[in-house]
């Protein structure tokens, strides 16, 4: 056999092996996921978690007053440069 054909045969066998293993793993996971926790033998030793709700707050947005131009202008805040350096260093590098 020539060296050229050996490479093709090896590549085909490797791809076929990978294809068979992918299907095999798929079938194993499909069979394992159909079992319930009681059938799979998993036993939990933890205690059930309980989270009590402090209070339920509902907001009817039709009753909430709209934002006025004066109320929106009061919240103006200068945001810092998000460059990771001080303003002087940023101005120098700019």
Confidence of residue 17 (pLDDT cuts 50, 70, 90): very high
Whole-model pTM above 0.95? no
**Contact 90/83 with Cβ under 8 angstroms?**
yes
Residue 3: is its pLDDT beyond 80? Answer: no
- Look-up of token digits 């001080």: 86
Residue 88 has pLDDT above 70, yes or no: yes
The mean predicted confidence, pLDDT, of the chain is 76
Q: pLDDT-derived band of residue 20, with 50, 70 and 90 as boundaries? A: very high
Query: For residues 7, 12, 17 and 23, what is the CA-based torsion angle, rounded to 10 degrees?
Result: 150
Q: What pLDDT score was predicted for residue 45?
A: 64
């Amino acid at each position: 056999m020539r060296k050229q054909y050996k490479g093709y045969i090896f590549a085909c066998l490797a791809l076929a092996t990978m294809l068979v293993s992918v299907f095999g793993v798929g079938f194993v996971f499909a069979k394992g996921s159909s079992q319930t926790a009681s059938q799979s033998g998993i036993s939990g030793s933890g205690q059930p978690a309980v989270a009590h709700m402090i209070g339920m707050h509902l907001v009817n947005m039709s009753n909430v007053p709209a934002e006025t131009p004066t109320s929106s202008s009061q919240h103006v805040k200068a945001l810092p440069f998000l460059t990771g350096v001080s303003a002087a260093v940023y101005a120098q590098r700019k």
